[in-house]
Amino acid sequence: MELKDIREKISAIDEKFAGLFEERMRISEQVAAYKMENNMPVYDASRERDVLCRVSDLVSEDMRSYVQNLYRTVFDLSKARQIVLLGKNSKTEQAIRKAMEETPPLFPTHGTVACQGIEGAYSQQACEKIFPELPSLVYFRTFDGVFTAVEQGLCEYGVLPIENSTYGSVNAVYDLMRRHRFHIVRSLLLPVRHCLLAKKGVKLEEITEVFSHEQGLGQCAAFLKAHPHIKATVCENTAVAARMVAQSDRSDVAAISSRNCAELYSLSTLSDEIVDSDNNYTRFICITKDMKIYPGANRISLMLSLPHVSGALADLLSKFSAVGVNIVKLESRPIPGTNFSFRFYLDAEGDPADEKVRSLIGSLVDESDEVTLLGCYTNQI
C-alpha cells in the first residue's frame, strides 16, 4: 500500500473521530448543566478512573497506555469546557467585565497613597515607582494601618510589601488579608540593596548591635553570621532603624537600611551591598477599595480555604490546568483557632479579557464562600 493510500485511511478515520469528539463535548455540556443545577463540582476522580479502566479494556494491550493518555487529554478538554460554561455570566464574571469596562485606560500617575514606615522606607521607593508624579504619601506605623486607611477611604491607594526573592513571603501582610476588604490593582518588583549605616566616624569593629526590619535582617543573614558579636534587633521598618541610629546616644549601633537613608538621616555607610543575594527583589502590591482592572492585566490573585479532605488541592489545581492557566505562586498560612487547617493565597498568570479565564475565576468564587478574588492586575517589572 502506498503512503498516499495510508494517509487517506487516516483522513477517513479523522473525519469520524472529529465528529465523535464534538458529539462527546456537546454531551459534556449537558453534564455541566446538570452539575450547575445540582451544585456539583467539575472534577470527579472516580468517574475518570472508571472511564480509563473501561476504554483500556477496549483496545489491545500494547495500545492501553496510549488510549489512557488520549482520554486524559479528553478529560482536560471536557473539564475546561465545563468550567467555561459554569462560570460564564456568573456574578463574579459579570463583576470582572464591569470593572474592565469602567476602569480608565491608563493607570494613574499620582494619588493619595498609604504606606508603612517613614520617609526613606523601601515602601516609599515602591510608591514613587508605581506613581511617578510624586504621590501624596501618608505613612502608617503598621501594615494594618495601610489596609484600614484604604478600606475606610482615607487613602485612594495602599502599597504593601508581599514577598522577597531572598527571604520569602511577608507573612504579616498575608495574615492581614483575611481581615480586610480590598482589591489589588498593580504589583511591582523593586530591587533592594541593603547597606550598613552608622554615625559618621564610627568603624565597623565598634558596632555591637544592628537594627532593621525582620526581612532586612533575614536578607543579610550571611553578613550577620560573619559578625557573630553583633546583636540583631528587629524593628518595624528599615527607615525607622536608620532614624533610631541617628537619634541614639550610642555610637556602637548600626542599621541595615537603604543608601537613601544614609543621606536622609546624615549617616555614613560602613558596608555596601551586604545583602545575601545580588538578585534581591521585593514585590509590592498596590491596593484600592473598589475593584479596578486596568488594560494589560496579566496576573490574578485569589484567597481561599479548602476542605480538609484528600484531593481537595489537586482538584483546585486541575481546574487551572484545564483552561491553560499557569499558577506562579501558592502560599499557605495556618487559620487561627483550627486544627491544621490552612488558608491559601494563589497567584496565576492570566488575562481577564480571556473568557476562559473569567469563567474560571467566576466558577471558583461563586461555587464557594471560601474563595475570594483579590485582584486582576499588571505585574510591573
pLDDT per residue of the chain (381 residues) written in tens, 0 to 9: 789 989 999 999 999 999 999 999 999 989 888 887 887 877 788 899 999 999 999 999 999 999 999 998 898 888 878 878 877 878 999 999 999 999 999 999 999 999 999 999 999 999 999 999 988 999 999 999 999 999 999 999 999 999 999 899 999 999 999 999 999 999 999 999 999 999 999 999 999 999 999 999 999 999 999 999 999 999 999 999 999 999 999 999 999 999 999 999 999 999 987 999 988 999 999 999 999 999 999 999 999 987 777 667 877 887 888 788 999 999 988 887 777 778 899 999 999 999 889 989 998 888 777 899 999 999 987
Asked if residue 62 belongs to a domain, the reply is: yes
- Catalytic residue from among 284, 288, 320, 378: 284
Q: Does 282 participate in catalysis according to the annotation?
A: yes
| Nine-digit cell string for 59 | 483496545
Contact 270, 135 (CB under 8 A): no
pLDDT of amino acid 381: 76
The answer to whether residue 77 is domain-embedded is yes
CA 354/CA 300 separation, integer angstroms: 12
Q: Quick one: 263 and 311 in the same domain? A: no
| Count of beta carbons in the 10 Å neighbourhood of residue 189 | 16
- Residue 132 pLDDT: 93
Identify whether residues 380 and 301 lie together within a single domain: yes
Residues 298 and 267 grouped into a single domain: no
284 is catalytic: yes
Query: Could you tell me if 347 and 364 lie in one domain?
Result: yes
* Within a domain: 374: yes
Same domain? 298 vs 378: yes
Inter-CA distances, 257 with 197, 229, 249, 285, 319, Å? 7, 19, 19, 21, 43
* Alpha carbon distance 287, 109 (integer Å): 15
The boundaries of the domain holding residue 205 are 195-271
What is the count of structural domains for the chain?
A: 3
Residue 136 lies in a domain: no
Catalytic residue among 148, 166, 282, 372: 282
